Amino acid sequence: MNKQQLEQLLGEDLTGMSSVGGGCIADSQVITTRSGRKFFLKQGFSNGMFRKEANGLKELARPGVIKVPDVIDCGDDYLILEHIEQGSKKKDFFEDLGHKLALLHRFEGEHFGFFEDNFIGSTPQENIPSEDEAHNWPLFYWNKRLMFQFRLAEKNGYADNTMQHLFALLEKVYEKILEGSEEAPSLMHGDLWGGNYMSDIKGNPVLIDPAVYYGHREADLAMTKLFGGFSAAFYRAYEETWPLQEGASERESIYLLYHVMNHLNLFGTGYYSQAIRLLEKLIR
């Protein structure tokens, strides 16, 4: 989308367009209008990714418990968002984030998944459940998350005999691993690592770049452990707001596996060993 198209869409002249970091994959810019309004523009893909992101942000906004950027407009190859000025984290930032994430997870869906497939990073993420998967979290998670990534790894040449053998063994025990943790479908950010939250000008938490679906909240929390960036106060506040079920720490590995497999498929063999270690841990 060029300057002229943006001016027509926003209804006023632009006085500035500056490139900024916008995650790992999108071409992102802050655009400023003559009246001083600012917007965040993402471009660089024409596969419908931005429409899916817009729908995810709108879904996260529904409970009204944590700030996400307002969607101004989107198309197949662009997304215009409210520009949120970044500020220093307030003193109780992580307590607030943990509390609000628990409240977000309290927002229940009618079934697991989402009304549309979307993306996690640039990887497609299948969300539309079969009749059997809609109310069976272990089956949904196995088919739509772990097996999707495994088949992609096979296609990419990463799933060697060792990985194939370990996945075959995991298939026999995944239901037992998840047994006893049943809950209603929770609204999930879906890709909650340290780069996908920020603090606004007042120091309040904001969630960005989601991969939204309704799932088991432990999967959202597991992702926060992959690269760090969340303090002990965050987890303490979450637990105080809505305690996790017994055995959550033992189930962490099966939820981490999805994200490690996704990173293997996105970035290559640097994540292979980590995937194998998780698989070996899970089948012990």
Active-site positions?
191
- Using a 10 angstrom Cβ sphere, with 0-12 exposed, 13-18 middle and 19 or more buried, the burial of residue 5 is exposed
Find where tokens 């523009």 sit: 41
Using the Cα atoms of residue 266, residue 49, residue 40 and residue 13 in order, give the sign of their dihedral.
Answer: positive
Residue among 49, 52, 95, 114 nearest 230 (CA): 95
CA 49 – CA 56 distance, rounded (Å): 11
The amino acid at residue 111 is: H
Residue among 249, 187, 229, 247 nearest 97 (CA): 229
Helix (H, G, I), strand (E, B) or coil at 17: strand
Pairing mode of beta strands 78-82, 197-199? unpaired
